[in-house]
């Protein structure tokens, strides 16, 4: 069965939490640091999943003497655990010892659930946000004593278990691609070029789920699911309200996809309708590839103007991989695959907290935020809280200028890439 280790500094409430999970008073609890000396394992169960729950003594990685032995026990428990529940006292906040412990957990590459204990009432939830700074993801507020939030926490623990017995991670099915663009840009033509006119919409490939509205296709040797293609297959054209239906279709397709291909007509100037589709794609937070279709119609002259247009009109998506294709002739259609892979790579890219903070401090030393009202705004700590798309949280000592945020964002892309994905920067000023 999976093993869950509960670790944390002395007196943060580990044993109370263990009792809460077990639903009985099994662990020794005393309001005195270091009472639970040894690792103790209990059989536990939640939502039909059995697991072994390991209670550890107080964990202070920098401890001396007796406490050092207890710390070693905690570290052993972490090594053998599938999931680590790291408990922090929300009333105290993250101490130096907590930060040292968080670094060890980071290095251990274990699934860690960060618990903010002693959140006895709703209004204390705000203290919890500070614990993002530990770089262990979202902190879960609970009150082990009163049971507040413990059901949610148990859900999280059980969800974090490794996939069922096989031991190997379940492989992801084919990635989901949306083909969007204004009417007549060539979506149906491209789909038919990729999929072939007559092939069935639904291929029953074992282990893949494809909706009747999706198409399973092969591009450049890889399987992909083109989502929401039923309308494109049937070449449905709406006599009136075309715009409205087109934008509704874009919305559906984008929502169902991981990566979006926005098709543009290379033979025509970039139109307002193209911009609307692009904005929809960017705001969805999906990965993005730009495909310039009808390349067979592009001559030397047009190519020159197109480059200028791209610089001018498509600056907001300069980070998206670009391919020039012709659905008519089949030109470079296979090149879509590497572009899709590149964009999905950027979408899922993660920078470690250590690397990110080192980078930010170098950046700030070289180009500091302009001083405002006698204050030098600074990032105190940064963490990438999420991927798909990448989302960064910057803990700062003051509000930040938009310009400086844009600067950070630009440099993030220059130094780390993030091709084909929007990036979100969230500033949390501590004042």
Known binding positions: 8-15, 55-59, 117-120, 181-188, 228-232, 293-296
Alpha-carbon distance of 217 to 91, in angstroms, equals 54
65 φ, ψ (degrees, to nearest 5): 60, -135
Joined together, the tokens standing for residue 37 give: 């000396």
Question: Based on CB atoms, which residue is closest to ligand GDP, 140 or 295?
Answer: 295
Interface stretch with ligand GDP, choices 127-135, 167-175, 176-184, 283-291 (CB under 6 A)? 176-184
Give the long-range contacts of residues 90-94, CB within 8 A, separation 24 or more. Answer: 90/116, 90/117, 90/118, 90/119, 90/124, 90/127, 90/128, 90/131, 90/139, 90/141, 91/118, 91/124, 91/127, 92/12, 93/127, 93/130, 93/131, 94/130, 94/131, 94/133, 94/134
Report CA-CA distances (Å) from 157 to 47, 53, 83, 161: 11, 11, 7, 7
User: Which residues does the annotation place in the binding site for GTP?
Assistant: 8-15, 55-59, 117-120, 181-188, 228-232, 293-296
293 binds ligand GDP (CB under 6 A): yes
Distance separating alpha carbons of residues 369 and 371, to the nearest angstrom: 6
**Considering beta carbons, is residue 18 or 323 the nearer one to ligand GDP?**
323
Least separation, in Å, of the C-beta of 327 and ligand GDP?
4
* Total residues at interface with ligand GDP (CB under 6 A): 16
**Residue 326 lies near ligand GDP (rule: CB under 6 A):** yes
Specify which residues 54 forms β-bridges with: 5, 41
Give me the 376-415 binding string for ligand GDP, x by CB under 6 A, dash otherwise.
Answer: ----------------------------------------
Q: Does 185 bind ligand GDP (CB under 6 A)?
A: yes
Could you tell me which residues come within 8 angstroms of residue 353 by beta carbon, excluding any fewer than 6 positions away? 106, 135, 382, 383, 384
Which of the ranges 5-13, 45-53, 220-228, 324-332 carries the binding residues for ligand GDP, by CB under 6 A?
324-332
If the CB atoms of residues 277 and 343 are measured against ligand GDP, the closer one turns out to be 277
Angle ∠(386,126,90) on CA atoms, nearest 5: 90
156: helix, coil or strand? helix
d(CA 425, CA 409): 8
CA 333 to chain centre: 29
Tell me the residue nearest to ligand GDP as measured from the CB.
186
Residue among 153 and 327 whose Cβ is closer to ligand GDP = 327
Query: How far, in Å, CA of 90 to CA of 128, rounded?
Result: 6
187 binds ligand GDP (CB under 6 A): yes
Contact between 327 and ligand GDP by CB under 6 A: the answer reads yes
Vertex 68, ends 62 and 72: CA angle to 5°? 100
Of 271 and 380, which has the nearer Cβ to ligand GDP? 271
**Could you tell me which stretch among 198-206, 207-215, 323-331, 409-417 binds ligand GDP (CB under 6 A)?**
323-331
**Which residue of 8, 135, 174, 186 would you call a contact of ligand GDP, by CB under 6 A?**
186
CB 296 → ligand GDP: shortest distance, Å? Answer: 5
Query: CA-to-CA distance for 164 and 26, rounded, in angstroms?
Result: 29
Q: Does the protein bind ligand GDP through residue 196 (CB under 6 A)?
A: no
Name the minimum Å distance from CB 304 to ligand GDP. 19
Minimum separation from the CB atom of position 237 to ligand GDP (A): 7
Q: Which is nearer to ligand GDP, 9 or 187 (CB)?
A: 187
Q: Smallest gap, in angstroms, from Cβ of residue 229 to ligand GDP?
A: 10
In angstroms, give the least distance from the CB of 308 to ligand GDP.
22
Position 294 contacts ligand GDP (CB under 6 A): yes
297 is a contact residue toward ligand GDP (CB under 6 A): yes
Q: Where are the beta strands (DSSP E) in 118-199?
A: 140-141, 175-180
DSSP secondary structure of 47-113 = TTEEEEEEE-----TT--HHHHHHHHHHHHHHHH-SEEEEEEETTT---HHHHHHHHHHHHHT-EEE
Judged by CB, which is closer to ligand GDP: 101, or 263?
263
Q: Which of 30, 80, 126, 184 binds ligand GDP (CB under 6 A)?
A: 184
Binding segment toward ligand GDP, per CB under 6 A, in 291-299, 310-318, 350-358, 402-410: 291-299
Q: What is the binding site for ligand GDP (CB under 6 A)?
A: 181, 183-189, 232, 293-294, 296-297, 326-328
């Amino acid at each position: 069965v999976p093993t869950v280790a509960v670790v944390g500094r002395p007196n943060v409430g580990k044993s109370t939490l263990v009792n809460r999970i077990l639903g009985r008073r099994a662990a020794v609890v005393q309001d005195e640091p270091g009472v639970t000396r040894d690792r103790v394992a209990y059989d536990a169960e939640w939502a039909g999943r059995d697991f072994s729950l390991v209670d550890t003594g107080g964990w202070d990685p920098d401890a001396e003497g007796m406490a050092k032995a207890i710390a070693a026990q905690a570290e052993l428990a972490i090594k053998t655990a599938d999931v680590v529940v790291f408990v922090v006292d929300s009333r105290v906040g993250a101490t130096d010892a907590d930060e040292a412990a968080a670094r060890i957990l980071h290095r251990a590459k274990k699934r860690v659930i960060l618990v903010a204990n002693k959140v006895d009432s709703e209004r204390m939830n705000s203290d919890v946000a500070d614990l993002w700074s530990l770089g262990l993801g979202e902190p879960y507020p609970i009150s082990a004593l009163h049971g507040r939030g413990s059901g949610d926490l148990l859900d999280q623990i059980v969800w974090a278990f490794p996939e069922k017995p096989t031991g190997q991670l379940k492989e992801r099915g084919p990635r989901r691609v949306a083909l969007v663009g204004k009417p007549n840009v060539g979506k149906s033509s491209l789909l038919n070029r990729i999929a072939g006119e007559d092939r069935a919409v639904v291929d029953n490939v074992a282990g893949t789920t494809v909706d009747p509205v999706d198409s399973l296709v092969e591009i450049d040797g890889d399987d992909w699911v083109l989502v929401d293609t039923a309308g494109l297959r049937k070449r449905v054209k709406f006599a009136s309200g075309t715009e409205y239906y087109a934008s509704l279709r874009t919305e559906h397709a984008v929502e169902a996809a991981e990566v979006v291909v926005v098709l543009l007509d290379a033979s025509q100037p970039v139109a307002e309708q193209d911009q609307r589709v692009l904005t929809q794609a960017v705001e969805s937070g999906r990965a993005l590839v730009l495909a310039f279709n009808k390349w067979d119609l592009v001559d030397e002259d047009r190519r020159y103007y197109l480059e200028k247009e791209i610089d001018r009109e498509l600056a907001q998506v300069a980070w998206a991989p670009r391919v020039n294709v012709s659905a008519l002739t089949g030109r470079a259609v296979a090149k879509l695959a590497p572009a899709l892979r590149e964009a999905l790579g950027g979408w899922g890219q993660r920078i470690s907290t250590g690397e990110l903070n080192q980078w930010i401090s170098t950046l700030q030393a070289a180009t500091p935020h302009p001083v405002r009202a006698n204050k030098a705004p600074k990032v105190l700590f940064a963490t990438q809280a999420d991927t798909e798309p990448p989302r960064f949280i910057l803990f700062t000592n003051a509000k930040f200028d938009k310009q400086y945020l844009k600067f950070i964002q630009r440099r993030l892309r220059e130094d780390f890439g993030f091709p084909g994905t929007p990036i979100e920067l969230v500033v949390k000023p501590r004042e």
